[in-house]
Amino acid sequence: MNKTFKLYGIIFSVLILLLAFFELGKKEVVDWRKNFDIHEKTPFGLYVLDQEIESLFSSKIQKIDHSPYNYYTENLETKPHNILVIQKQLDNESWNKILKEVEKGSDAMILSSDCNEKIQDELKFQVLTSLYEDSTQWKLTDKKLDNILLNLNKFPGNKAISHIDPEIEILGKMKADSSIWKANFIRINKGKGHLYYHSDPIFLTNYYLLNAQSASYTEAIFSYLKDQKTLWFVDTQKKNTSASPLSFVLKNPPLRYAWWLFLAGLCTFAFFGAKRKQRIIPVVEPLKNKSVDFVQSIGNLYLQEGDFHEMMEKKAQYFLQRVKMELLIDGQKIDNAFANKLQLKTGASEDKINTALALIKKGTDPYASVTKEELITMNRLLDEILPISK
């Protein structure tokens, strides 16, 4: 392992130790957002209510994951029933469907700090933010329930109901230390049924419902509904979230920290690796000697033409030139002296040299007739006398 990778390993290890140190000393942050989600175990989720709601109703309760408009358009409820909506934003069409069911004899309980303004005008009441204190006190106006008081000390919605029509019955009130009692829970008679509206459903969340006061208050609120089938319209935001493996990793803090640590290490390695790594050196092929190819091409040309005399002459001239350059023997005059010198320096037999020289003389004679066999014989003898080094 070279020094560069050792350095990267040391840096990466230090980063891991630093991140681990900071994460171990990090305190988990509590999510105080008011999500009112039946799947959330955060302080202001509705997980506890979802688990315990059947014990609050003696009759069957059914959770509906559609809007009231879609549900009542597709399903016809012939019998009176209860309608429960908790902090769910309702459009005008859904409100109209609920009011029609109430007029036919059903009871609806809406617990939400966000009430449709058109419905407020139609039913003749108004929801306002009138208190700004961090703690408030709630009570019910029914004499049978006047001993039930609820103190809220964590982010109450501070929504009160005002400008109430005289025909509307006030069932619950709220106040802060420096204010007077104001309505927050009302009942409106509509046709054969009743519409209950509560301006702040925070008492149903996990944080408060685990408290004995809030549990009693919740039981008292739901006691106004009749002993009949209840339809609870819930939000499906949790169900529509992505169920991919990455979403599961990001949801769990230990896995999320490991994932970000992995990405940080990978980016660090890629950055330093790309910066220090040498570019690939291209392979340059050496220049190829084309002389042999050229000679072969010329030889094939002569062979195709059938000019054996010309080829024999070229071979003879090439041999004599090699003898002159390599053996330092002058080949201008081919005689016995030339033959003796060639024999001494090459070590070839006398018969082989005499035969080769006779064929050389014939090849250099412009008037001589040369056959293919003579060309082949001369070529073989000359290669044996003075081989071509490879």
Query: Mean pLDDT over residues 112-122, rounded?
Result: 87
CATH architecture of structural domain 47-233? 3-Layer(aba) Sandwich (3.40)
pLDDT in tens, 60-85: 999 998 899 999 999 888 899 999 99
pLDDT in tens, 41-59: 899 999 999 999 998 888 8
Higher pLDDT: 148 or 303? It is 148
Query: Mean pLDDT over residues 306-330, rounded?
Result: 84
Query: Mean pLDDT over residues 376-387, rounded?
Result: 86
> What six digits make up the tokens of 261?
């640590």
Higher pLDDT: 237 or 147? It is 147
pLDDT of 242 reads 44
Q: 105 burial class (0-12, 13-18, 19+ CB within 10 angstroms)?
A: middle
pLDDT of 244 reads 54
Nearest-angstrom CA–CA distance, 87 and 202:
9
Tell me: pLDDT of 294 over 70. Answer: no
Q: Is the dihedral of CA 76, 108, 164, 46 positive or negative?
A: negative
Least confident residue range of 29-33, 212-216, 329-333: 29-33
pLDDT of 241 reads 45
Break the chain into its structural domains and give their ranges.
Answer: 3-28+244-276, 47-233, 291-385
**What pLDDT band is residue 281 in, cutting at 50, 70 and 90?**
confident
pLDDT in tens, 183-226: 999 999 999 999 999 999 999 999 999 888 888 999 999 999 99
CA 221 to chain centre: 46
Q: 382 burial class (0-12, 13-18, 19+ CB within 10 angstroms)?
A: buried
Tell me: pLDDT of 35 over 80. Answer: yes
**What pLDDT band is residue 239 in, cutting at 50, 70 and 90?**
very low
Query: Mean pLDDT over residues 1-30, rounded?
Result: 68
pLDDT of 238 reads 47
Query: Mean pLDDT over residues 287-312, rounded?
Result: 68
pLDDT of 236 reads 55
pLDDT of 195 reads 95
pLDDT in tens, 118-152: 889 889 999 887 656 678 889 999 888 878 888 88
pLDDT of 369 reads 84
Higher pLDDT: 378 or 15? It is 378
Higher pLDDT: 291 or 384? It is 384
Query: Mean pLDDT over residues 103-131, rounded?
Result: 87
98 φ/ψ angles, rounded to the nearest 5 degrees: -65, -45
Determine the residue type at 214: S
Nearest-angstrom CA–CA distance, 129 and 199:
10
Nearest-angstrom CA–CA distance, 350 and 377:
16
**What pLDDT band is residue 332 in, cutting at 50, 70 and 90?**
confident
DSSP result, 268-335: HHHHHHHHHPPPPPPP-PPPP--HHHHHHHHHHHHHHHT-HHHHHHHHHHHHHHHIIIII----SS-S
pLDDT of 305 reads 64
Q: What is the mean pLDDT of the chain?
A: 82
Write b or e for each residue in 227-266: b if 16 or more Cβ atoms lie within 10 A of its Cβ, otherwise e. ebbbbbbbbeeeeeeeeeeeeeeeeeeeeeeeeeeeeebe
